[in-house]
Amino acid sequence: MLDYSHEDWKTRAANLKLQGQAFIDGKFVDAASGKTFDCINPATDEVLVQVAEGDEADINRAVEAGRAAFEDGRWSRMAPGDRKEILLKLANLIRANLEEMALLDSLDMGKLVTDAVTVDAPGSAHFFQWYAEAIDKIYDEVAPTAPGDLALVSRVPLGVVGAVTPWNFPLDMATWKGAAALAAGNSVVLKPAEQSPLSALRLAELAAEAGVPDGVFNVVPGFGVTAGRALGLHMDVDCLAFTGSTVIGKMFMQYSGQSNLKQVWPETGGKSPNLVFADCEDLDAAADMAAFGIFFNQGEVCSANSRLYVERSIKDAFVEKLIARANNMQPGDPLDPASKMGAIVDAKQTQGIMRFVEEGKKSANLVAGGEQVTVGGKGCFIQPTIFDDVTHDNPLARDEIFGPVLSVIPFDSEDEAVAMANDSIYGLAASVWTDNLSRACRVSDKLMVGTVSVNTVDALSAQTPFGGMKQSGFGRDLSLHSLEKYTALKTTWIKYKA
C-alpha cells in the first residue's frame, strides 16, 4: 500500500484534472442539450466538476457510434490476440494511474481512498487482465454429425451492449461489465450512476490510449429517467447489463419488452444473511468479518451481510464483540488513512438510511451508533449502527437499507436459522460460520443464494461467478460464465462430399 499521509492525499486530490464531458466515438463531447449537473463530494459538500447531462440524443449518438464500429469490424473482427494485447495494455494503464483512479472514486462517492487504492483500482486492472488473457483461450465446438456434414458451433459477439452501473463501486462495476463485453468483441455504451461518473470517464480515456478503437467504448453520464431509460428502450442495443436496485432492474426488463426484446441481465438488491453457529471456535475472527461484512464501504454493498443470525447461547457475548468493533470504526475524512469508514454517497441516501434507523429505534434494541454525524461540520456520515434482538418481520431485517446498519437476530436451531435466512425476497449471498464440516456443507446446500461464503464473508474472484437468485436477479458477473451473456451461440452447418 502507498505510504501516503492525509496531507499527501489531499494534495494529490487538489491537483487532479477532472473531466466531466461525455466520451462518444473516441472523443470528449458536451451533451447535445448543453446541460450539465453538479458532481458533489459527499465528504465535503463541495462541487467537484460540472458533468455533461446526457439524454436520449446522446445515447443515440453513442449507440450509433458503437454500431458503426461493430459493423465495420474494427474491434468485433479484430484478431483475438490483438484484442488481448490492447486490453492488457489497458490493465497496465490502470495500474500506472492507480492513485488517480482511487482518488476519483473516493472524491466522487465517499469511499476510503485506502480501500480504493488497495482494492477497487487494482481489482479493475486485474479483471481487465484476466479477461484479456481469456480471449485467445476460449474454443468453439464441432458437433457430432454424420459423414458429409460439418456442424460448427461458435460464440459470436452480440453487437452493442448497454451497461448501467451503480455508484457504490464505480470503477469496478464499469470494469465487471466492460471488460467481459469488450473481450467478447462487442461495442459498449456505459451509463454510470449520476452520483459517480468520474472514474468511468477516465477509464474511457485510458481505453482509447490503450488502442481500443473509436466508437467501441462510450460513456454517457446522465440520469436514469433520461439516459438510462433511453438505453433500455433503444431499438439498436442488443444487450443491457445492469447492477442496481431491484425496482430499477424490473424497469429494464419492461423496457426490453417495450422495445426490441434485448437481453437484460440484472444483478439487483440483496439482504445477505450471516449465520454464526456456537460450534464456531474462533468467534473473534467471526466478529471481525461480521463487522467488515456490514461496515466496509459504509455498508453500501449489494451483498453486505446486513442480517446477522447468531445462535442464542453465544449471542450476547458475540454482540459485545461487535459493539467493540463498531466503536472502533467511526467515520472520518475518506482521504485520511486513519479513517475506518467514509461518507455516504449523497444526502438522499443518507436520509433514506436514517429513516430506517429512526424507525428501528422504536422497535429494536439499538446497541451501537445510530446517529448521523459530520466531519469538520460537513458531509454525509453515519455511525456504524447495530440493532440487537431484531424480530424477523421488522423492516430492519427485511428491507435493503444499503448503509452501515446491522440487524442481529437470535436462533435456537439449524433449521430455524436456515428458514429465516431463506425467508427473503433476495438471494444474493450468505455466510456461514461453523467448524463442523457436515454442517457447513448441509447449510450451504440449503441456502438459496448465488454465493455462500463459509468462515469468511463476501468471497469472490475473477474465476467464480457473482450474482444471485430470486429478486436479486439472474445476471452473472465475473468468471468465464459472464461471457455467455455478451455472446450468442451460432451454428454453421456445412454439407460436403464425404
Any idea which residues carry the catalytic annotation? 267, 302
Instruction: Single out the residue of 152, 241, 225, 118 nearest to residue 189, CA to CA.
Output: 241
Contact 199, 170 (CB under 8 A): yes
**Over the Cα atoms of the chain, what is R_g?**
23
Q: How far apart are the first and last CA of the chain?
A: 63
Question: How far apart are the C-alpha atoms of 24 and 152, rounded to whole Å?
Answer: 36
HSE (side-chain half, CA atoms, 13 Å) at 371: 9
460: cell is 469472490
Name, in order, each residue with C-beta under 8 angstroms of 387's C-beta and a sequence gap of 6 or more.
360, 364, 365, 366, 367, 396, 405, 406, 407, 408
192: cell is 454510470
- 68 φψ region: left (φ > 0), alpha (ψ -120 to 50), beta (else): alpha
Question: How far apart are the C-alpha atoms of 105 and 198, rounded to whole Å?
Answer: 7
Name, in order, each residue with C-beta under 8 angstroms of 479's C-beta and a sequence gap of 6 or more.
462, 463, 464, 465, 466
Sheet holding 149-157, edge to edge: 141-143, 149-157, 487-495
The DSSP result for 399-457, as a single string, is: S---SSEEEEEEESSHHHHHHHHH-SSEESEEEEE-S-HHHHHHHHHH--SSEEEESSS
Q: What is the three-class DSSP state of 329?
A: coil
Q: Which residue has the cell 445477505?
A: 272
